Structure 1
Amino acid sequence: MGHGGDVIQELTADHREVDEMFAKFDDAEPGSPDRKRLVDALTIELVRHSVAEEMYLYPAVREHLAEGDALADKEIEDHGRVERLLKGLEMQEAIDPDFDRMVRELRTEVTAHVDDEENHLFTQLRHHLPQQPALDELGEKVREAKKTAPTRPHPGAPSTPPANKLLAPGLGLVDRARDYVTGRGK
């Protein structure tokens, strides 16, 4: 699915990419290096996506939706659980006994989060924010944020503005340098 459009279209395209990565993981031979490579790619996508949501989507949720603070806090809490799982998987190899179990747990968390966003949060946003320019501007901000976002989990990093907007690009630069040196994500 191509990227572009408003914030909901952009994030939904990310969700479909993650679905495809999980399907490819299922098709890969258990214990194979392909499974580790797919989890690395999944980690990169999920971290970039989460950081961008925390930088731009959730502040908009807080500002424009009734009970926006509670909604944003719940979504950020979901991200925290996913990020801790990703951090654990970062230390695992595909042959490790807990690897597949941890990926199943990750998939359960991600699927529940995506379902909640797509069936509740996005519907409310579309109803309460005007397409032009708010949703389109948020889409562009999210796309830009993903370009400089970290590619590895940092569970201790701030998840709300302004601290996340200040630190994420620096963490992203360090992560991309590490990825380049190690060949991760290619």
Structure 2
Amino acid sequence: MNQSETLISVLQEDHNDLRQLLTELDYLVEFERLRRSVTQLLIAEMVRHTVAEETYMYPVARAHLPQGTRIVQREIAGHAELERVLRRMDLPDLTSAEFSTLLAELNAEAGPHARAEENQLFPLLARYLKPEELAAVGEKAAAAKEKASLRQYLAQPDSSLRDRFVTSGTTMVERVRAYLHRGAYPL
């Protein structure tokens, strides 16, 4: 982590990466195999990001922001809605039309959610937390993010982690959450 990174910059970087994955999926609707791989990556990265917010941002928001508990409750409700759509995107044998509908629904949820954080919550955190507090929490979030990186595992066809994600009986959302809570983001 470089000196200028804070909790806000770490989470903003996630938002940018997730936007990029969503954009890529727009172009892959008709390419089922590739679409499936990128969708799994999107699910893993979006769940990792929500767990990071729940682990690092929400506790400081509750503790330092006026009406922090109310803000966090609203954000958690937004995460639940995103994960509801992600679970449906993980269903096998989605047609291109079904996938397109779900992708549009995810974009309709994720875009406003991220913009609200960037335009309202992040500025509040910058206002009510000292720069060194934001940097300290950002350092922890960045270290956990690196530890929790799922891209390298999902990209390897013979990855045992990927096999566990794909063959387990629960949805990918639950599998990623369980993996993160056991390792990088224990609560």
**1:143 Cα deviation from its structure 2 partner:** 2.1
Distance in 1 of aligned mates of 2:29 and 2:148: 33
> Quick check: 1:74 aligned with 2:86?
no
**1:65 Cα deviation from its structure 2 partner:** 0.3
The equivalent of 2:115 in structure 1 is: 115
Q: How does 1:88-107 map to 2 (within 5 A)?
A: 88-95=88-95, 97-107=97-107
* Two-structure CA RMSD over aligned residues (Å): 2.7
Letter in 2 for 1:170: R
Distance in 2 of aligned mates of 1:126 and 1:29: 39
Residues 131-181 of structure 1: CA distance to partner in whole angstroms, max 9, x if unpaired? 11x1011112222333348883129x7xxxxxx9xx8432879xxxxxxxx
Distance in 2 of aligned mates of 1:21 and 1:148: 18
Q: How does 1:107-146 map to 2 (within 5 A)?
A: 107-132=107-132, 134-146=133-145
Distance in 2 of aligned mates of 1:143 and 1:32: 33
The equivalent of 1:20 in structure 2 is: 20
Q: Which runs of 5+ in 1 are unaligned?
A: 158-163, 174-186
Distance in 1 of aligned mates of 2:144 and 2:18: 18
State the TM-score, normalized to the length of structure 1: 0.76
State the TM-score, normalized to the length of structure 2: 0.76
Contact persistence 1:51–1:149 (CA under 8 A): no
The equivalent of 1:64 in structure 2 is: 64
The equivalent of 1:178 in structure 2 is: none
**Distance 1:169-1:78 versus aligned 2 partners, 3 A rule:** same
The equivalent of 2:181 in structure 1 is: 169
Distance in 1 of aligned mates of 2:29 and 2:71: 39
**1:126 Cα deviation from its structure 2 partner:** 0.4
Letter in 1 for 2:143: E
Distance in 2 of aligned mates of 1:114 and 1:69: 18
Distance in 2 of aligned mates of 1:171 and 1:85: 25
Specify the SS of the correspondent of 2:44: helix
Distance in 1 of aligned mates of 2:6 and 2:24: 27
**1:27 Cα deviation from its structure 2 partner:** 2.0
- Alignment size in residue pairs: 161
Specify the SS of the correspondent of 2:174: coil
Letter in 2 for 1:58: Y
**1:88 Cα deviation from its structure 2 partner:** 1.5
Q: Greater shift after overlay, 138-147 or 47-56?
A: 138-147
Query: Which stretches of structure 1, 4 residues or longer, exceed 4 Å deviation after superposition?
Result: none
**Distance 1:18-1:72 versus aligned 2 partners, 3 A rule:** same
